Chain A
Amino acid sequence: MSAAEEVVTEAPAVEAVPKRAMTLGYGTSLVVLAALILTPLFVKNFVIFQMTMLLIYGLAVLALNILTGGSGQFSLGQSAFYAIGAYTTAILMEHFNVNYALTLPVAGVICFGAGFLFGQPALRLSGIYLALATFALALAMPQLLKLGFLEHWTGGVQGLVVTKPDAPFGLPLSQDMWLYYFTLAVSIGIYIASVNLLRSRSGRALMSIRDNEIAASAMGVNVALYKTLAFGVSAGITGIAGGLGAIAVQFVAPDGYTITLAISLFVGMVVGGVGWLPGSIVGSAFIIFVPNIAEGISKGLSGAVFGVLLFLVIYLVPHGARQVALVAQQLTAKLKRN
């Protein structure tokens, strides 16, 4: 948490906003985009599935990044919003036969509402107290999903099986590949919207709250409104990620959305670099692939190995992928000058 706090307190407020601080340069962005578009053409379906999950968790990390990196509020409850999104999509698809693409905006809106409402009491809390309150939400969610009177819709402990959509218009794509490009399109849309949000007037208001709440309110920023809005937006994006996750995994069950997920997302944000949106995908890669690597090193001690790797990352690059990118940028600049 110290790394996050450092960023929150040390980030130069004025310089943080203009371009680059939040995003990648155009050239780099295009290269990353090209890689994301072309790679699936050359790999197995299983890898495509993993890349889809990479994007989905990337979105969820991005949402947390907006909340923590943008407005400076902590949340350990993102798994709850992810679950609400996933269940919204699953229930709409399976009980109401709604098209999968249409369920995502619904999931987003419902989660925005849930996040906005949760943001109200959260206003009275700050720092670690807010983290604890959201932690409680994450703990409660799997049990709420098992409640008897919801069981008709949620399927209780058994969960719901979701049908994977085929590619539309008879496109010659496998289900996995179509879902990947679909997710990619949604992700790019949300990424661009998020960058614009943080660069806009609202984004500056959020960051001013992050840097100094009293100064922000003195300048006329409606602190309460913007804080709850940040919660709402973050929850909404997480909900869309949850909905996509439900479609990709083809199954929702309370056990998939425990506090472990919330903590994973938090880890992903810190590893990717707090407040640096492109880092979200790096963080997402960390939480998906590093446990597999850890398991490969030692089955019995996979948790411990993961811990050691995480510790190394935090110790060597406390600002996560953002720091690595910054160093790389400086190096290339140096090379160019020479």
Chain B
Amino acid sequence: MSAIHLRLGAFAAALALLAVSSGHALAQKKYDVGASDTEIKIGNIMPYSGPASAYGVIGKTEAAYFNKINAEGGINGRKINFVTYDDAYSPPKTVEQARKLVESDEVLLIFNSLGTPPNTAIQKYMNQKKVPQLFVATGATKWNDPQNFPWTMGWQPNYQIESIIYARYILKNHPNAKIAVLYQNDDYGKDYLKGFKDGLGAKAASMIVIEESYEVSEPTIDTHIVKLKATGADVFFNITTPKFAAQAIKKNAEIGWKPLHFLNNVSSSIGSVIKPAGMENAQDIISSNYLKDPTDRQWKDDPGMIAWNEFLDKHYPEANRSDSAVMYGYIVAQGIVHVLKACGDNLTRENVMKQAASIRDLEIGGLLPGIKVNTSPTDFAPLAQLQLMRFKGDTWERFGEILSGDVGG
């Protein structure tokens, strides 16, 4: 059974589209470099070493998933040749590896290269060369820019989408809130803040009573929390990375500040944030997610999770199943397989981008129920939906419907 659950309607529509667009050329095979009757060559760049090497798991999961696809006969009879290189999260090295993939290995496309600085380093090159830079692994908003960078496409819900969703929730449920924002002083923090303000719209100026920033180099953010409390705010938007998020949750409890607490999903990990901060301190915090938490008991009998476990048992038994990066790799690999299948026998770079930009309501095992992948020629943000969740007891409880907040870069 294929892991991708295409809806019948979407499938028919895709077929019809293919038939209309290619007409009699349907039978004709068209290839760019990197594709042939027997093989599709895909490039990938990951930090297998260096400071971000924890993310290397994503590349390993993807390789395992392509092994599974190949073992099942490949994509339309073609085997995937997955060439993945290490850049140690260093942009100059990323450029070298990307050029090696494109000019020496001659791959059809580069898929899911990781990190905002590394991807920024190669974005211009990829677009000049007209080689797809597909489903980049970063949460920045700027990848959704089909007009200036038609060969680059994002993947996961970006930071701005997430904070717009919180903003809408606040507008609806707490229209008179006094909001305190704490953010990390870099592109990630500012991306979140921008989305949040855009989401609040005209009310942003009156609702946000304080915007406090901290530097990654600070040992503790306790003083910032005290300052935030002093403003008398009753809503707290916490844009911090795991270590600081844990500090903030703990400090809040210590000084007895109990605002409605929104925590960005970067730091929603139970293991690395909530537990160190104390479960009792984290009650009722609101965050959001788009993929299934593998450690969550409620998915025990979920068919998608059963398929996930079968895949890991067979092709990647040493994987750490509580690592959300494994789930991430599993999901995005299904995304590219869907695109390549949709390309049929027309494996040109142009058609790859065309198919990637015409995904309709694709459901992938591992995404929360109801979250779908959607793209269009003007929308290069495949995942743009999240579901809110609240921390109760020792786990996150999802609530409300699936929310979306499409924004461009």
Q: What is the interface of chain A, defined by CB distance below 8 A to chain B?
A: 44-47, 49-50, 53, 143, 146, 148, 156-159, 161, 245, 249-256, 258, 260-261, 291, 295, 299-300, 302-303
Q: Do A245 and B92 touch across chains, with their CB atoms under 8 A apart?
A: yes
List 14 other contacts, CB 8 Å, given A44-B104, A258-B90. Answer: A46-B103, A49-B96, A50-B96, A53-B92, A156-B187, A161-B121, A245-B92, A250-B95, A251-B91, A251-B92, A253-B121, A255-B90, A255-B91, A291-B86
B206 at the interface (CB under 8 A from A): no
CB distance from A309 to the nearest CB of B (A): 14
Q: Do A161 and B92 touch across chains, with their CB atoms under 8 A apart?
A: no
| Chain A neighbourhood of B118, CB < 8 A | 255
B151 at the interface (CB under 8 A from A): no
Q: Do A253 and B88 touch across chains, with their CB atoms under 8 A apart?
A: no
**Distance of A260 Cα from B100 Cα, bound (Å):** 22
Q: Do A255 and B187 touch across chains, with their CB atoms under 8 A apart?
A: no
Q: Do A46 and B99 touch across chains, with their CB atoms under 8 A apart?
A: yes
Q: Do A250 and B124 touch across chains, with their CB atoms under 8 A apart?
A: yes
Number of A-B contacts (CB under 8 A): 89
| Chain B neighbourhood of A44, CB < 8 A | 103-104
Q: Which residue of A lies closest to B121 (CB)?
A: A251
**Distance of A49 Cα from B102 Cα, bound (Å):** 13
Interface CB pairs A-B, < 8 A, 22: A53-B92, A143-B217, A157-B186, A158-B116, A158-B117, A158-B120, A158-B187, A161-B123, A245-B92, A250-B125, A251-B91, A251-B92, A253-B120, A253-B121, A255-B90, A255-B91, A255-B117, A258-B51, A295-B48, A299-B84, A299-B86, A303-B49
B85 at the interface (CB under 8 A from A): yes
Q: Do B186 and A46 touch across chains, with their CB atoms under 8 A apart?
A: no
| Chain B neighbourhood of A303, CB < 8 A | 49
| Chain A neighbourhood of B48, CB < 8 A | 295, 299-300, 302
Q: Which 10 A-B pairs rank lowest in CB-CB distance, beginning with the nearest?
A: A46-B103, A251-B121, A253-B117, A256-B91, A157-B187, A249-B92, A157-B186, A255-B117, A46-B99, A249-B95
| Chain B neighbourhood of A148, CB < 8 A | 185
Checking B102, B124, B188 against A161 with a beta-carbon cut-off of 8 angstroms, the contacting residue is B124
**Distance of A198 Cα from B91 Cα, bound (Å):** 34
Most buried by B among A50, A252, A299, A303: A299
**Distance of A45 Cα from B129 Cα, bound (Å):** 13
Bitwise interface map of B from 74 to 109 toward A, beta carbon under 8 Å scored 1, else 0: 000000000011101111100110011011100000
Q: Do B120 and A156 touch across chains, with their CB atoms under 8 A apart?
A: no
Q: Do A46 and B86 touch across chains, with their CB atoms under 8 A apart?
A: no
**Distance of A161 Cα from B100 Cα, bound (Å):** 20
| Chain B neighbourhood of A255, CB < 8 A | 89-91, 115, 117-118
Q: Do A157 and B96 touch across chains, with their CB atoms under 8 A apart?
A: no
B50 at the interface (CB under 8 A from A): yes
Q: Which residue of B lies closest to A288 (CB)?
A: B96
| Chain A neighbourhood of B86, CB < 8 A | 291, 295, 299, 302
**Distance of A258 Cα from B84 Cα, bound (Å):** 23
**Distance of A158 Cα from B102 Cα, bound (Å):** 24
